[in-house]
Amino acid sequence: MDNVMENSAERIHPLEGRVFGSNGVLLQPFDFFERVSLRAEEAAIDGIGKALDLPLPRNPRTSATRELSDLGNLSVLWIGPDEWLVVAPDGTDIEGKINSVKSGLYSAVSVNHRNTSITVSGLNATLALNAGCPQDLSQEAFPVGCCARTIIGKAEVILWRIGEDTFHVECWRSFSDYVWKYLADSARSV
């Protein structure tokens, strides 16, 4: 059986090959990484923090990040009173680490194939985002590390400021083309 072909699925970014730059705004698809939607009751929070070696943020609109040597960063974003989005580079098995916790009730579900993300950066990134997002994105109101579930146009997103002029926009794959085009149109208008 020399001609046996291996079957394997290849994950393709829904925005693969796209890059947009105009008027001080750069849009880029964000690399693949693991995402876990986490819901947890109080009794499980400390154990999950220990399993991740990163305490879960407990205040609205906050995030916590730690470096994973040369792999990149593990980050936990506060989304609601008992809800977080955990993100890390591919291959870090954050879902497995969370599911090793045996105390308290929680739900940790991989959303790797449901979500995708876009990086919005540049001097006018805030203006492009604010064309379709009702959040006050000034540095005072939305500093680096701040995150929120919000909308861009008519699509629900998680917006996370990762630098002074850099944002991470997390959205469902099915809305990614709409969000991309909305942001590109906004950038052309700033």
- Mean pLDDT of successive 10-residue stretches along the chain, which has 190 residues: 61 84 95 90 97 97 92 94 95 94 96 93 98 96 98 98 97 96 96
Q: Cβ-count burial of 38 within 10 angstroms (0-12 exposed, 13-18 middle, 19+ buried)?
A: buried
Q: Sign (positive/negative) of CA torsion 130, 135, 141, 146? A: negative
Whether 106 contacts 124, CB under 8 Å: no
Q: Kindly report the pTM of this predicted structure.
A: 0.91
Q: So what's the pLDDT on residue 2?
A: 52
Domains of the chain: 20-31+114-189 (3.30.1360.120), 33-110 (3.30.70.1520)
Whether 178 contacts 189, CB under 8 Å: no
Q: So what's the pLDDT on residue 1?
A: 47
